[in-house]
Amino acid sequence: MARVLRARKVIHHHIYSSIWSNIKEEVSVILYNSIWLLGSGDFIRFWNDNWCGSVLSEVFNIPSHISQSLTSSVSDYIFNGQWNLPPHLSQHYNTISYLVQQVIIPIEPSHDKLLWKQTDSGDLKLSDAYLFKVPQFQDLHWAKVIWSPDIPPSKSLLVWRIMDNKVSTYENLMIRGCALP
């Protein structure tokens, strides 16, 4: 992930790779479906990363032009292994203390880790990404019946289109915005 991001922003210039143009479009999806596991807190942005169950700038409806300038890290609010929120912050945002206190600070310092929320292990594997992105197809029990050597393919195709509601009927054309006299 570090190679695709610079200063927490997706690299938009060309990188010689056969898959980069598609991957960079999915970084926001990956970040939206990930959560940070607190280690030292040095690499986790306090306001703009999901580390306590949600992104704090979104929870408190902080406008994006303001939230982008909030650069403090989670480690800025930890002192001697305990949460140390400024009193004015807790007063202005009532529930921030509750949200922050739900996250346990590790006793032994470790690295912050980005976890994929869609798996039990937290690791994002290619197979997990594929299952996440590819829609799960419904079981079409009738498909085996119509695609038979006994039925001409043109008839099977017509039945398939009828069952999938893809035939150019008047109603279907109207739904797709075609105006007919």
> Hey, where are the domains in the chain?
33-133, 143-175
Q: Model pTM?
A: 0.64
Q: How far apart are CA 74 and CA 87, in angstroms?
A: 16
Helix (H, G, I), strand (E, B) or coil at 49: coil
Q: How far apart are CA 166 and CA 176, in angstroms?
A: 11
- 68-80 residue pLDDT tens: 899 999 999 999 9
| pLDDT grade for 49, boundaries at 50, 70 and 90 | very high
Token code pair at residue 142: 């009738």
